[in-house]
Structure 1
Amino acid sequence: MSDPNGPTVRRRRLGGELRRLREHAGHDQAAAAAHLECSTSKISRLETGQGLAKAMEIRSLLDLYGVTDESERAKILKLHKNAAEVGWWEQAEFEEILPSGLGVYVGLEYDARAVQEWGLGFVSGLLQTEEYARAVFASLPLRPQDEIERLVKVRMQRQKRLTQANGPLELWAVIDEPVLRRPIGGPAVMRAQLKALAESAAQQNITVQVYPANKDVHPGLRGSFSLLEFGPADPRIGYVDSPSGNAFLEKDKQVRALVATFDRLRAGALDPEESATLLNTLAAEEN
């Protein structure tokens, strides 16, 4: 398992503690924002782990929430100090080119124990070859080549979680069959991608299933999504990406709906052995 106390999870835990203390004190986010002389959106970002306050701001919030016990204050401040650690994805060369929200997702993925993905448009980013990823990013509007290369570098760096020696990330990817027949980057790039998928599926911590194109209407047609699992103390998180933006789903009802959808897709897909056979067959067809 990855470090269950990585920077993103730490920030989320800190945010959860701040929200709990605020609600216990009977304050809403507007009151906290007025106290810090900031926007309510900043308080919301802090409480969802998508931002990090200064230490003096944390102390000020603890004063507002009536937290006078020194041991509890010390616990929160230590959590804040640990949450201030900078992840590799937050380095300037990457942070400035990552689309809004993707940096948060990469951090969550880094801290996750397992990821389940449904892919409707592209091969899972965690399983893309470098050339396939480059072709995907090249299709984005108004992206200079240096930014494309940095985005590819981020994608390749993310994949290291799958092969790390100590508790690699567990990935279960269900891919819509038309994705595998779309020659992104050209026949040679697609052939290499299909072969790489088949090889990845042979790894113990990776499961790949293909959802047949001849199936009727199914719930996955609404769009791609991911489910991220952490330690027992941290709830599962859903992530949905779309042309209009991305969304993190954390409410129990929302997450349960995604889990049910993924289970239906997994049940309707080819089993892993059949999927591997199809991947090898499609790779041969690209010759």
Structure 2
Amino acid sequence: MDAAEGSTLARRQLGRRMRRVREAAGKSIEDVVFAGVASRTKLWRIEHGRTAVKTGDVLALTRLYGTEPAVVDELVPLVEATRSSGLIEDYGAAVPQGLGLYAELEATATTVHAYSSELIHGLLQTEDYTRAVIEADRSLTPEVVAQRVAFRMERQRRFFDRAESGRLEAVVTAGAMNLVVGSAAVMEEQIAHLRAVADGGAARIGVLPATDGVHRAMRGPFVVLDFEDPEDPDVAYVENLVGSRYLDKPADVTRFREAFEEVRDRALPLEEWLR
């Protein structure tokens, strides 16, 4: 297990256990805030595995909850594991805000369901395609562009090259396939790469024809991440110019999953669309 995978799993595991300990103690979020131990936002981030956790935070919370020492002894070792993130440590400021957590979740997901309406999904991009996309932001220096390209290539390696490779189901619109990113040569290489990935069985890729009319996913791209542990909630992820959102309420995830299934059922297999 690499550092990114370990830190993500540790955060989510610790978060679930801290929530259970609080609930078992009969303490509400308001009780924690009133006691001055943690703010509502901080407690939410801890219990949802969205942040590295300090030992002091765990000790303060479990003291408030009256947690048995034996349980505290089980929780503390998880704290250090929440701090190491190979992706963040290796790429630092080059990681776009909000994307670090997504990349860690992606690296541990059993299945990624991705709908893309404007661009090829990041796990399927060639290096030149990625560079052309990132260079569209004129505010970035050449050094940051290079770091972000490397970061995206590392995301692909962590997803596909781990001991048990994740499974990718991707649906992309015909518009994204026809959009020239970089140059005609870049697109030719990108299409060839998609063919190779699909033929090799690493991903199932469908193309939604332009003639197929309206559908529920037209509001924008999104990803649904599935995880092996039944207690590790599946997550829907959406992003825009000013940030990103992670939705793990079952009803929200179901809506995105149903939208993906709709476009997947209407999409043509890549090879059929390319004929």
Q: TM-score, normalised by structure 1?
A: 0.88
The answer to whether residue 73 in structure 2 is matched with residue 74 in structure 1 is yes
- Change in 2 beyond 3 A, CA 1:27/1:100: farther
Are the equivalent residues in 2 in contact too, given 1:2–1:168 (CA < 8 A)?
no
* Paired residue secondary structure (1:246): strand
Q: Which amino acid aligns with 1:79?
A: L
2:161 maps to which of 154, 160, 164: 164
Q: 1:165 to 1:158 in 2, by over 3 A?
A: closer
CA distances 1:103-162 after superposition (whole Å, capped 9, x unpaired): 000010111111110011110100000010001001124111111111100100011135
Paired with 2:196 and 2:113, the residues of 1 have a C-alpha distance of 18
Determine if contact 1:119/1:225 at 8 Å carries over to the other structure. yes
Contact 2:113 2:223 in 1 (8 A): yes
Label 1:228 to 1:83 Cα distance change in 2 as closer, same or farther (>3 A). Answer: same
Corresponding position: 1:112 with 2:78: no
Match of 1:133 in 2: 130
| Distance in 2 separating the partners of 1:212 and 1:198 | 17
Q: Distance in 1 between matches of 2:266 and 2:157?
A: 30
Letter in 2 for 1:191: E
- Equivalenced residues, count: 274
CA contact (8 A) 2:21 2:65 kept: yes
Q: 1:242 to 1:215 in 2, by over 3 A?
A: same
Cα distance in 2 for partners of 1:130, 1:5 equals 23
Choose from 270, 276, 279 the match for 2:271: 276
Kindly tell me: are residues 141 and 37 of structure 1, through their superposed partners in 2, closer, same or farther at Cα, counting changes over 3 Å? farther
Q: Is the 8 A contact 1:36 1:60 kept in 2?
A: no
Note closer, same or farther for the CA distance 1:165–1:246 as it changes in structure 2 (3 Å cut). closer
Offset of residue 204 of structure 1: 2.0
Alignment check: 8 A CA contact 1:176 1:211 kept: yes
Report if aligned partners of 2:5, 2:107 keep a CA contact under 8 Å in 1: no
Q: Tell me, yes or no, if structure 1 residue 54 matches structure 2 residue 54.
A: yes
1:171·1:206 contact (CA, 8 Å) conserved in 2?
Answer: yes
**Match of 1:187?**
184
Q: Shift in Å at residue 46 of structure 1?
A: 1.3
After superposition, where does 1:38-49 map in structure 2 within 5 Å?
38-49=38-49
CA displacement 1:231-250 (0-9 Å, x = unmatched): 13322111111223211010
Aligned counterparts of 1:218 and 1:33: Cα–Cα separation in 2 = 43
Counterpart code for 1:76 = L
Where in structure 2 are the equivalents of 1:88-103 lying within 5 Å?
88-91=86-89, 94-103=91-100
TM-score by length of 2: 0.92
> Could you tell me how far apart the structure 1 residues matched to 2:225 and 2:2 are?
13
Q: Distance in 1 between matches of 2:52 and 2:158?
A: 25
Runs of 4+ in 1 over 4 A off after TM superposition: 1-5, 33-38
Structure 2 counterpart of 1:267: 265
How well do the aligned residues superpose, as a CA RMSD in angstroms?
2.2
Shift of 1:217: 0.9
Q: Aligned-pair distance for 1:30?
A: 4.4
Structure 1: 5+ residue stretches without partners: 282-287
In structure 2, distance between residues paired with 1:134 and 1:161: 19
Match of 2:254 in 1: 256
Percent identical: 30
Name the counterpart of 1:220: 217
Structure 2 unaligned regions, length at least 5: none
| Per-residue deviation, residues 182-232 of structure 1 (Å, max 9, x unmatched) | 001011111111111111111223111101111111112111011111113
Q: Quick one: distance in 1 between partners of 2:210 and 2:2?
A: 35
Q: Give, in whole Å, the separation in 1 of the partners of 2:21 and 2:163.
A: 36
Q: Distance in 2 between matches of 1:131 and 1:63?
A: 53
Larger CA deviation: 130-139 vs 30-39? 30-39
Answer yes or no: is the 8 Å Cα contact 2:91–2:151 preserved in 1. Answer: yes
